[in-house]
A = this chain, B = another copy of it.
């Protein structure tokens, strides 16, 4: 898959030794949810300590190795962390999270995963009453709302704030004396509760973060629930009537985003993907000699496909582990080669064979076509593309940064044309119903908008990627150079 990664990952822990190390490991395991910035905030029960920067978790915190992590752990016992993939315009250092601020009640830090679809409306409303915004991120509104005097007077400020929000959101507030973690009423993005080896309560975007610190998943934060992690342990309340809103889990978390060892929406990602592959084999069989994945995201589905079809599984591509930001090649020829560095064909695995290639999705199609060409150049007799999800046709307003609608190749041509465009011998996509039959919850509990256009949560269209560039409030801020 060539599109941009989505969203963000959040992690919080309370009442543990060395909190900064645990947050570090938790964030590291969530790194696939965002590589653009990383940060964490810890508390010593009276004030906050903070560090954030551009880049991956290990890049941001490595710099000062012996220093920053121990300093953030010193005299502290809990905190929150964040990894981020920028979804808006230029990447900016000031948008790195957690975001820390002081307000009338003291200090607070916020880490947020998702997309608040009425953020622009709220922002305009707050600006009109005098608020100033120092970043372009949705997250800043979460602090403004918390600080509003009318909200402070409410019995439950956080619940009140949450009820104003539309869209997909998992919010972690860190106060000096507690963490409050809330999940949107539809539970679009995952958020789970865990326990560390030393018995500390944790929250995380995915359960793999609990594994990473030697802990365990306890349960999911329910849609519409707020959980408080404090010295009194874990307590829970709901900001909407439980069950009053139908859940709408993003099934793309299973298809692509979440990590294979995570348990999201009640089941394991790897198993779900194998099921997708098996179902794909039923829906779109092919007469072939070998099934190969586009590693690593297509591997589980390819195994499922191979098991179901009885066609042998093999690795046809080698993935490089050393791809970093490389230099910008001045010629097109060189840029084409640079793409090939990431996945190299194993000629001997495909030569003279009829090959089924399993990928998790197709966005623009150019990357896929490049792989088809590589396979043919290596001597593959036939190339059959199998995709473990339905065709992507609609933008996501809940936190995923696909290409624009016009760029999505499935909007531009029908299956026959696409097959020819990709220079494949056949192509098969998993059906929506087939996909939904592979997971545990009832079909109506999932969001499938990117395939069907059926948006269940309000979208306030202004937040679409296409519209964002025009906002007069977008500061162009040159990225901090290191």
Contacts and interface: CB of A to CB of B under 8 A. Distances in A.
B315 A299 contact: yes
A96 B171 CA distance: 28
In the complex, the count of this chain's copies comes to 4
Contacts of A131: 103, 130-132, 147
Contact of A344 (B24, B29, B103, B326): B29
A457 B107 CA distance: 31
A382 B228 CA distance: 40
A102 interface: yes
B107 A132 contact: no
Nearest to A83: B322
Interface in A125-178: 127-134, 143-144, 147-150
Contacts of A340: 211-212, 214
A322 B101 CA distance: 30
Greatest chain B CB density within 10 A among A72, A107, A132, A299 is at A132
A59 B324 contact: yes
Nearest to A61: B327
Which of under 10, 10 to 19, 20 to 34, or 35 or more describes the interface residues of A? 35 or more
A326 B91 CA distance: 24
Contact of A18 (B300, B318, B334): B334
Greatest chain B CB density within 10 A among A129, A144, A149, A334 is at A334
A57 interface: yes
A62 interface: yes
A328 B66 contact: yes
B476 A31 contact: no
A475 interface: yes
A307 interface: yes
B102 A133 contact: yes
A134 B101 contact: yes
Nearest to A133: B102
A94 B100 CA distance: 11
Contact of A62 (B29, B72, B144, B326): B326
Contacts of A65: 327-328
A47 B100 contact: no
A327 B24 contact: yes
Contacts of A440: none
Given A102-B132, A346-B270, A480 B53 contact: yes
A322 B129 contact: no
Interface string A248-285: 00000000000111010000101100100000000000
Given A29-B320, A320-B31, A334-B21, A315 B300 contact: yes
Contact of A349 (B144, B271, B334, B476): B271
A388 to B, nearest CB: 15
Contacts of A48: 475-476
Closest 4 CB pairs of A and B: A268-B348, A104-B127, A58-B324, A31-B322
